[in-house]
Structure 1
């Protein structure tokens, strides 16, 4: 009987120690992996590393950045969704994560329900830019030109289903214009098309448009955010210049697998807020992406991602964009 009691006590103790609450109380006790879905050296990779360093110091455990590129970030999201919900695997989704809800036929995860959101990190906008000799000098002029020439105007983006592309589709729908999307393999290729004269308009991130604008190689007509981009203070927003209320920004944030204990999510959220409050971290991220660092509660991020997924799914359907496998 004593042996049975001792064995039962040992099993009970082991189960308590292995419970989520016990894990949360001791968390973290080993390195954390931060996964993103894009190539080394890209925006997501840079943001991940800028966040990982202060998180390592705050949590007192290494935060190791791991790239899992492919499928527009979905490879990384899938790996996070399938990871153990113990706080030792987290991910950095970007704006395309919400787009995937409507863009893919057989998505192996749900963009919202398969994850525990931790916090947003940064928001950044797009700019509508044109060749220097384009006949319009502002957004109103562009829309008037497009309406006078329905179906004859092309705009380029970083690719089919990119947030750049969908921003153009939403802009066309709200403004009531008909223009044609020309997909490129990334922003760099789209810029080459514009600067070579093959393309009259591009929609690209503000931070990539800024140096070309400064060099006089293009005209920036408007930015998609509700406030002007500090790097191009003379370029108005779409909302103030042509379409009141227009607000499109992409973003980056952090999430964990569904079922990660709330106590661990709260600890990670607190660490993220502390990291983003560091002036050197905030300024560097904003410099890299040309955006605004903005942390959030897990609940606020969940609401934002759900809202973005619904918006882009609607845009994809209305624009008849074919779903991808």
Structure 2
């Protein structure tokens, strides 16, 4: 508890220095490490912001993809980097499941990384091929009850928030649905469109283009409210599952000990970049994102909450990364 309070105090000082850090400048080219392969939403967000960051810092800002081990390899590289403002982590929601999902981590999620900004989130969505009989979350649950182990679902990987959300749904409804864990969103989408699995769960950023294009039909969403692009699709809470929420999110972190003025400088540069009307529109339309653009303490509190919620699901179901 003492450690946590000390950390909160340090984060409070970082937040207080947001304005004071406007003149701080890293001494060299800046790397943003994305701990996943190119082509996913995290990579897309990183590449969207780098031109604006390059302009604001007046020096090159590049994206470096270091994928593997559920995002822990790239995260470890940042945790072990010098706290000089030249290395940053832009990561995804699976970040919060790492302590429970992997038996041993080479870094400590809170001690070795300092929070910078929660960029925003997008709800997880359930979708199916349009000729499948499911038109709502209620339909899916009814079918799974009528035919135990007969309604399969896909996710973008074992231990992802999509997978964990479906585990919660099954626990709440007393159903059993076989899980197919894919090593990427594209493969899961292709098999859902082909009819090899009944439904899939993925972020709205992944599924929205296929839903709007007609190759998939949304049957439920797990955000706190309906997305404008899916205004006719009820949330899980509206469908009778209070508290069942799951959102993909993107956050930025620095190596622990990065000076507060440099953290403040990156926070301000990200905020200015993502508040540009064109970029905000791209995030809202292409990624279906609800932008937050938080300060460091808000991200720290959010991570604590996410680790507690999803870590329990991982432990209760003895889930391990592939």
Same fold (TM over 0.5): yes
C-alpha separation in 2, matches of 1:211 and 1:27 = 39
Q: Which runs of 5+ in 2 are unaligned?
A: 1-20
C-alpha separation in 1, matches of 2:211 and 2:148 = 27
Number of the residue aligned with 2:257: 259
Number of the residue aligned with 1:223: 221
Sort the Cα spacing of 1:214 and 1:60 in 2 relative to 1 into closer, same or farther, 3 A: closer
Deviation digits for residues 286-324 of structure 1, max 9, x if unmatched? 233222222101011011112111211111112221366
User: How far off is 1:25 after superposition?
Assistant: 7.0
Q: 2:172 aligns with which of 171, 174, 180?
A: 174
Moved >4 Å (runs of 4+)? 23-26
Give the greater-gyration-radius structure (CA).
1
Q: 1:240 aligns with which of 238, 241, 254?
A: 238
C-alpha separation in 1, matches of 2:289 and 2:266 = 23
User: Do the aligned partners of 2:24 and 2:261 also contact (CA within 8 Å) in 1?
Assistant: no
2:118 aligned counterpart, secondary structure: strand
Sort the Cα spacing of 1:213 and 1:271 in 2 relative to 1 into closer, same or farther, 3 A: closer
User: Do the aligned partners of 1:102 and 1:323 also contact (CA within 8 Å) in 2?
Assistant: no
Map 1:1-325 onto structure 2 (within 5 A).
Answer: 27-322=25-320
Q: Which runs of 5+ in 1 are unaligned?
A: 1-22
C-alpha separation in 2, matches of 1:191 and 1:111 = 31
Sort the Cα spacing of 1:86 and 1:151 in 2 relative to 1 into closer, same or farther, 3 A: same
Deviation digits for residues 6-63 of structure 1, max 9, x if unmatched? xxxxxxxxxxxxxxxxx99752332221111122333222211211221222233322
User: How far off is 1:144 after superposition?
Assistant: 2.3
C-alpha separation in 2, matches of 1:211 and 1:266 = 35
Sort the Cα spacing of 1:105 and 1:283 in 2 relative to 1 into closer, same or farther, 3 A: same
- TM-score w.r.t. length of structure 1: 0.86
Deviation digits for residues 185-237 of structure 1, max 9, x if unmatched? 22222222222222111112223333333444333111111111222221121
Sort the Cα spacing of 1:218 and 1:263 in 2 relative to 1 into closer, same or farther, 3 A: closer
1:165 aligned counterpart, secondary structure: helix
Sort the Cα spacing of 1:155 and 1:256 in 2 relative to 1 into closer, same or farther, 3 A: same
2:119 aligned counterpart, secondary structure: strand
Aligned positions, number? 302
User: Do the aligned partners of 2:128 and 2:193 also contact (CA within 8 Å) in 1?
Assistant: no
C-alpha separation in 2, matches of 1:295 and 1:175 = 35
1:267 aligned counterpart, secondary structure: helix
For CA contacts below 8 A with separation 6 or more, give which structure has more relative contact order: 2
